[in-house]
């Protein structure tokens, strides 16, 4: 006997993702239901919600890990082709950009947490290292944030001359360094400590103070200033 396919169309209207959103609002939907709306349909054996739940389970129900997946990795799931994979990544990218819009309104840096809230949406979930610099005026307001370099899984190269060239162009009186650790390990490496000391020393002669250096992961950060490495 052929097994009857139980699709979303067989569900009560209040339980279908689209109808549920209309009736109860977007906050009533689970992550899987939101993703199901993005992909539109499942496969012969799974509804869109069931397929979405399986994808999330593969990511330990962590949207950050899902964001890190590539198109080809998503396409390995039966029922996810290129178009659906693009829809998932597009939806997640819009969420990240929304967070960036909200945090970029920060007019002034007063704590290391302010820096983390600003930069984590941009670099916290990346699989490669990026090294950013925040240029501040004498009121600790951000004049500009600049991506100084990109690297691989374990490191990135920082050109100190380029950093201070841009600091002078911005007429910055202070700088904050930020880079991510894709491994999730917050402990600063010897290279991290060395580059921090070099930049701090170079800044003294130009009267540009290094205020902090943050190592950022998806859920936490390490602050050189908070831990007493920068005086």
* CATH number for the segment(s) 108-223: 3.40.140.10
What pLDDT is attached to residue 100?
66
Helices 31-39 and 48-58, axial angle in degrees (round to 10): 120
Question: Which pLDDT value is given to residue 204?
Answer: 94
State the Cα–Cα distance between residues 166 and 161, nearest whole angstrom.
9
Residue 169 has pLDDT above 60, yes or no: yes
Please report the pLDDT score of residue 94 as a whole number.
87
Mean per-residue pLDDT, 8-22 = 68
Nearest to 47 by CA among 19, 83, 11, 71: 11
User: How much is the average pLDDT of 206-230?
Assistant: 96
26-38 confidence digits (pLDDT tens): 888 899 999 999 9
pLDDT tens digits, 40-94: 888 988 988 999 999 999 999 988 888 888 999 999 999 999 999 999 999 988 8
Q: Residue 180 burial by CB count (10 A; 0-12/13-18/19+): exposed, middle or buried?
A: buried
Using alpha carbons, list the distances in angstroms from residue 79 to 51, 63, 139.
Answer: 8, 19, 53
Show me where the domains of the chain are located.
8-100, 108-223
- Alpha carbon 146 to its chain centroid, in Å, reads 16
Residue 101 has pLDDT above 70, yes or no: no
- pLDDT of 223 > 80? The answer is yes
What separation in angstroms does the CA of 66 have from each of 53, 71, 72, 145, 213? 12, 11, 13, 27, 28
- Nearby residues of 207 by Cβ (< 8 Å), 6 or more positions away: 173
Indicate if the pLDDT at residue 217 is higher than 90: yes
Handedness of CA 91, 94, 220, 125 (dihedral sign): positive
The pair of structure tokens assigned to 104 is 């970029």
What is the mean pLDDT of the segment spanning 134-141? 93
């Amino acid at each position: 006997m052929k097994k009857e396919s139980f699709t979303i169309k067989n569900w009560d209207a209040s339980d279908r993702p689209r109808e549920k959103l209309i009736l109860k609002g977007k906050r009533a939907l689970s992550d899987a239901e939101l993703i199901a709306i993005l992909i539109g349909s499942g496969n012969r054996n799974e509804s869109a919600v069931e397929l979405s739940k399986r994808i999330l389970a593969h990511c330990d129900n962590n949207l950050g890990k899902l964001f890190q997946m590539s198109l080809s990795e998503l396409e390995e799931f039966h029922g996810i082709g290129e178009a659906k994979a693009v829809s998932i990544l597009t939806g997640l990218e819009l969420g990240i950009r929304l967070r960036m819009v909200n945090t970029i309104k920060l007019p002034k840096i007063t704590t290391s947490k302010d820096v983390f809230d600003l930069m984590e949406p941009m670099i916290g979930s990346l699989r490669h290292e990026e090294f950013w610099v925040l240029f501040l005026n004498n009121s600790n307001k951000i004049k500009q944030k600049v991506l100084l370099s990109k690297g691989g899984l374990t490191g990135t190269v920082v050109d100190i001359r380029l950093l201070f060239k841009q600091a002078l162009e911005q007429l910055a009186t202070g700088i904050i360094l930020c880079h991510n650790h894709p491994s999730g390990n917050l402990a600063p490496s010897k290279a991290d400590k060395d580059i921090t000391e070099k930049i701090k020393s170079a800044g003294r002669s130009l009267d540009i103070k290094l205020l902090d250096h943050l190592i950022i992961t998806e859920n936490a950060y390490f602050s050189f200033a908070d831990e007493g490495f920068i005086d």
